[in-house]
Chain A
Amino acid sequence: MLSSNHALDTGRIHTLESFSAVDGPGIRAMVFLQGCHLGCPYCHNKDTWSHTGGTEMTVTAVMDFIEGYRSFFELSGGGVTFSGGEPLLQGPFLLSLLKACREKGIHTALETSGHGIELCDDAKISAKALAKEIIEQVDLVILDVKRPGQPLEAAPVFIRQLAKSHQPVWLRYVELPSPLTAPERVATFGKSFSGLERIEPLAYHELLGTCSCATFIEV
Chain B
Amino acid sequence: MIKSSGAVRAFIQGIYQPYTGGGDFLVPPTERTVRLLAKVEALLKAERQLGRPWVDLERISGIMSFPAGYIDPELELIVGLQTDQPLKRMMNPYGGLRMVEDALSAYGYEMASQARDQMRYLRTHNAAVFSAYTDEMRRARSSGLLSGLPDAYGRGRIIGDYRRVALFGVDALMAEKAEDLKRLAAPIRREQVARQIEALQQLKAMAALYGKDISKPATTALEAVQSVYFAYLAGVKENNGAAMSLGRVATFLDIYIEADLAKGTLTESGAQELIDQLVIKLRLVRHLRTPEYDALFAGDPNWVTEALGGMGVDGRTLVTKTTYRFLHTLTTLGASPEPNMTVLWSKALPEPFKHYCAGLSITTSALQFENDDLMRPHYGDDYGIACCVSAMKLGEQMQFFGARCNLPKVLLYAINGGVDEVSGHCVLEGVPRIVPEDSPASGSEVAFVSPVALDDQQVAAAFFSLMERVARLYVETMNTIHTMHDRYAYEASLMALHDTQVSPLMAFGIAGLSIVADSLSALRYAKVYPVLKGDRVVDYVVEGEFPKYGNDDARVDDLAVEVVQRFSEALKRTPAYQGARHTLSVLTITSNVVYGKKTGATPDGRKAFQAFAPGANPLHGREDRGPLASMKSVAKIPYHGCAEDGISYTFSLVPSALGKGSESERQRLLAALIDGYFLQGGHHINVNILDQGILLEAMDNPEAYPNLTIRVSGYAVHFNKLTREQQLEVISRCYHQTML
Contacts and interface: CB of A to CB of B under 8 A. Distances in A.
Contact of B628 (A18, A26, A144): A18
A18 B669 contact: no
Contacts of B712: 22, 44
A47 B717 CA distance: 10
Interface string A110-130: 010000000000000000000
A76 B669 contact: yes
Contacts of B552: 18, 68
A21 B711 contact: yes
Given A29-B628, A72-B673, A205-B733, A23 B713 contact: yes
Interface in B655-697: 656-660, 668-669, 672-673, 675-676, 679-680
Interface string B710-727: 011111101000000010
A208 B726 contact: yes
B632 A45 contact: no
B673 A27 contact: yes
Interface string A15-29: 111111111001101
Given A18-B627, A20-B711, A75 B676 contact: yes
A26 B625 contact: no
Contacts of B730: 44, 207
B658 A17 contact: no
A189 to B, nearest CB: 19
Contacts of A18: 552, 625-630, 632
A187 interface: no
A144 B713 CA distance: 11
A74 to B, nearest CB: 9
Contacts of B632: 18, 68
Interface in A73-88: 75-76, 78, 83
Interface string B612-631: 00000000000011111110
B274 to A, nearest CB: 36
Contacts of B716: 14-15, 17, 30, 32, 45, 48, 83
Interface in A171-219: 172, 200-203, 205, 207-208
Given A71-B679, A205-B733, A22 B656 contact: yes
A45 B732 CA distance: 17
A159 to B, nearest CB: 18
A118 B630 CA distance: 38
Contacts of A202: 713
Name B's interface SS. Answer: helix
Interface in B558-581: none
Interface string A45-78: 1001000000000000000010011011001101
Contacts of B627: 18-19
A71 B658 contact: no
B201 interface: no
Interface in B632-663: 632, 656-660
Interface centre among B626, B627, B730, B740 (most CB of A within 10 A): B626
A71 B672 CA distance: 9
B733 A76 contact: no
Interface residues of B, number: 38
A45 B722 CA distance: 11
B624 to A, nearest CB: 8
B437 interface: no
Contacts of A48: 716
B136 interface: no
Nearest to A44: B715
Contact of B737 (A20, A22, A83): A22
B659 A22 contact: yes
A72 B714 CA distance: 20
Nearest to B680: A71
B710 to A, nearest CB: 11
B224 to A, nearest CB: 38
Contacts of B718: 15
Most chain A CB within a 10 A radius of its CB, from B659, B673, B680, B736:
B659
Nearest to A144: B714
Contacts of A201: 740
B672 A111 contact: no
Contacts of B740: 201
B729 interface: yes
Nearest to B671: A75
B436 to A, nearest CB: 39
B628 A72 contact: yes
Contacts of B732: 205
B305 interface: no
A129 to B, nearest CB: 27
Contacts of A23: 713-714
A48 to B, nearest CB: 6
A217 to B, nearest CB: 20
A75 B740 CA distance: 26
Nearest to B659: A21
B329 interface: no
B493 interface: no
B371 interface: no
B625 A21 contact: no
Contacts of A75: 672, 675-676, 679
Nearest to B739: A203
A76 B736 CA distance: 25
Contacts of B680: 71
Interface string A128-145: 000000000000000010
Contact of B714 (A26, A69, A83): A83
Contacts of B630: 18
Contacts of A69: 628, 676
B709 interface: yes
A150 to B, nearest CB: 21
Nearest to B726: A207
A20 B740 CA distance: 18
A19 B737 contact: no
B672 A22 contact: no
Contacts of B628: 18-19, 27, 29, 69, 72
B625 A27 contact: no
Given A30-B626, A72-B628, 15 more contacts: A15-B624, A17-B626, A18-B626, A19-B626, A20-B711, A21-B659, A21-B711, A22-B711, A45-B716, A68-B632, A75-B675, A172-B713, A203-B736, A203-B737, A205-B733
Interface of A: 14-23, 26-27, 29-30, 32, 44-45, 48, 65, 68-69, 71-72, 75-76, 78, 83, 111, 144, 172, 200-203, 205, 207-208
Interface of B: 552, 624-630, 632, 656-660, 668-669, 672-673, 675-676, 679-680, 709, 711-716, 718, 726, 729-730, 732-733, 736-737, 740
11 contacts: A18-B628, A19-B709, A20-B713, A22-B656, A23-B714, A44-B712, A71-B676, A76-B668, A202-B713, A203-B737, A207-B726
Considering the complex of A and B, which 8 residue pairs feature the smallest CB-CB distances, nearest first?
A: A18-B628, A21-B659, A76-B672, A18-B626, A22-B713, A72-B676, A75-B672, A18-B629
